[in-house]
Amino acid sequence: MGKHLADNFRKDREAILQMVKLLIEGWSLDESSIQPENFEVIVFQLTSQFTFWVITLEIYDTGKSYEEMKQVYLKGIFTCFTTYLTKKGKAELEEVLSHPRNDSHK
């Protein structure tokens, strides 16, 4: 079990690294985000957010639907990058958060 979790974490970590590199290449994130001490924080925040939103919904947001809370959880995930956003990235984040998607993906 421990090996399986460790392998999955390595894969997730690599996926996060690739995402951060793409955001840097697209001028949305500052290059400082990839420095080891900063990247470690990003990995921790993203893995925590992606892991615990379900628990939060079930324990702390009881009585609220996923649809009600989806924007809160997404905002929490997206704002993990706030410290490292470029001017372009800040504008993109504001755009995403001000126009929530209303789709059938649940």
Give the per-residue pLDDT at 7. 65
Other CB atoms within 10 Å distance of the CB of residue 99:
8
**Alpha-carbon distance 60 to 82, whole Å?**
25
Give the per-residue pLDDT at 57. 87
Give how many domains the chain has, as a whole number. 1
Question: Residue 70's pLDDT band (boundaries 50, 70, 90)?
Answer: confident
Residue identified by tokens 């892991």 is 51
Examine residue 47 and state whether it is found in any structural domain, yes or no: yes
Examine residue 62 and state whether it is found in any structural domain, yes or no: yes
DSSP 20-42: HHHHHHTTSB-GGGGSHHHHHHH
Examine residue 63 and state whether it is found in any structural domain, yes or no: yes
The tens digit of pLDDT for each residue in 5-62 reads: 556 667 788 999 999 999 999 999 999 999 999 999 999 999 888 888 888 888 988 8
Examine residue 106 and state whether it is found in any structural domain, yes or no: no
Q: Which residues of 60-95 are buried (b: 16+ CB within 10 A; e: fewer)?
A: ebeeeeeeeebeebbebeeebbeebbbeebeebbee
Query: Is 68 or 86 the better-scoring residue by pLDDT?
Result: 86
Examine residue 103 and state whether it is found in any structural domain, yes or no: no
**Alpha-carbon distance 89 to 30, whole Å?**
9
Examine residue 61 and state whether it is found in any structural domain, yes or no: yes
Q: Which domain holds residue 41?
A: 2-98
